[in-house]
Structure 1
Amino acid sequence: MSTILDRTDAFCARFGLRIPILLAPMGGASPPALSIAVASAGALGACGALLMGRDEIVAWADAVRAETDAPFQINLWTPDPPPTRDAAAEGRVRAFLGRWGPPVPPEAGDMPLPDFDAQCEALLDVKPAVVSSIMGLYPPSFVGRLKERGIAWFAVATTVAEARAAEAAGADVIVAQGAEAGGHRGAFDASRAERDLVGLVALVPAVVDAVRVPVVATGGIADGRGVVAALALGASAAQVGTGFLRCPEAGIHHAWADALAHTLPEETMLSRAFSGRTGRSIATDYARAAVAPDAPSPAPYPVQRGLTTPMRVAGQQAADVHRMQPWAGQSAALAKAAPAAEVARGLWEEARGVLS
């Protein structure tokens, strides 16, 4: 136990935390209120800034800092190459989606993404304690500018090879994402996201043994037992996403939050059905239909995200979780409908109880 607590204490001291718990940066589900709440418990708040422009990133940081001086992380995706468009294939997807929601216009797939360079400049201006990456590595020039400003870089890795590459590129911490995680898989190579499915119990010790920097474990952790397991495997902290989604501060739709409470591990699934990038969601009627043999192949990211938008909006309006984008990790049913500060404190209190 002393070795584990020495490791967590060192991590917390380095990054200004009171407990070794991190909120996962979840795009579309990390409003300022959630980070403010977890920060009040001594955990690290987070923002998934994938779809946020420069002004939105600055506004998010300003809103958090208006309520707390605690540290937080902001996460960006490493951009994919421009997608290859296929009008005929997209037409088949549009026809399929039209059976689940309103008709999908051809231009729905023309989904613009925020300018990545402008997002990076916003991060440098905001100067969070931590900037994290997923889907690849930051350019060396940006890494250098982060280090000049004293901003730590946390790099998400789904394999040992990715972890080694991230450390070599200058990452200060590796976030080892197990295949149990909800939301998008962080694989550097999108084509390997559904093949290199390494569970957290195997991934964490392998990454810990392969790198010299601290490792944070994420994926399938939603209670104190999961935190203890991650720390026993060599992690210095645990990152939790789905475990916070039922908190009122997360602000997700009640139909999604309610469904999480009843979702068993085997009732989640991986697919590219929502965005074109592999992610884990509740195994809804739509998600299952989208991976059936007779379903059209999803369009590439972010075209598929645009094409599914009419269905997802209709699902929200109808409170129909089967037409939403209900991301969920395999431990979804462990998530508590309680204030986020209480959940964060409870994770560490339960973990300390198990350790002692």
Structure 2
Amino acid sequence: MRLPFRVAVLAAGAVIAGGGVAVPDAAAAPAPRYRLVLGSAKTLEYRGINARGDIIGVGLDPACFGREEGFVIKAGTTTPIFLADPGTNNQNSVPRSINDQGVVVGRYLKNVVVPGGAQEITRPAIWPGPGSAGSDLGVNPTGSADAFGINDHQQIVGWQGGPTSITPWQRNDTTVTNLPPLGGSTDTEALGENSDGVVVGDAAVPGGNQVALEWANGKLITLGQLNGGAWSEALAINTAGQAVGSAAPAGSSLLDSHAVMFSGGKAIDLNVPRGVNQGTAHATAINTGGVIVGDDAVFPDISGISNGFVYRDGHATELNSLIKRTPNVRLGGATGINDAGDIVGTAVLTAPDGMVSTVGYELLPIPAT
């Protein structure tokens, strides 16, 4: 059900920190400007950042013959430390979440023997920190599973695949609990959680549609849709319980979804740019202060990566407008923000011959003078 993560002034009804709905103040402070720090050529993308500034991402690991592997960059450094997969060091590890202690969860690919040969399946893994070997989380031990979120209490969430369905799970210490799936759905995923153990995700429903979900204290609720639409997903939730993600309005498909915040049983459009052609937009992360980042639906080049945005005080702003102009560098979708306001994502580099490549980027707020 997942798609790859992919600004304008909001009108009345924009969401602000605290989960309420309000008219943005016309005199709202402008978004801060940022200092751009590009990752090395080994980094293909940054996927998240924790409170102390540790960054997770995916890059080209020289020890694995240039294969794509997950890494951690410790705060204050620029060198990616690649993650070792459980039992091997070259099976496409992908980190999905890092908590404030530096513990990482994600997935790796495992070779298993099946009748007539072998195949690769997705397995959930945990890494205690940079340079340490990962271990399989043991969820659904003979089948596929993935880990998408970890909080500072070491609670982990994700999905597991069965013979006919995908179901959500949550792990506390060593105990794995199956979260209740949405009734009538064969595919329900847990995709993120906050420090209180509140979980968000989505579920497929009949007719090819999808609905954003939240689990709190074992109780499942639907988070709603955008303007009568029938497709939504929740990707992240902060400590205040504000959930963000993507949703398509009535008459549109998931291929024309908008970046949203969920409030009061419905999705609130953040009104990020839509671009000339149909495209998807996502709100991928939200910090404690309610500042949101993600990717909009503007695709300026052949990379297939749309621009990044930041949403604060009722306004969404293109990240490319908030940095010193850097020739042949474009800030694509943002995938993480911490409470210091540091933002990470994927930058698109354009060579003189027009070829494009990607590296991770970090944006550090420049103090106002």
TM-score (norm: length of structure 1) = 0.29
Higher helix proportion (structure 1 or 2)? 1
| Structure with the larger RCO, 1 or 2 (CA within 8 Å, 6+ apart) | 1
Higher strand proportion (structure 1 or 2)? 2
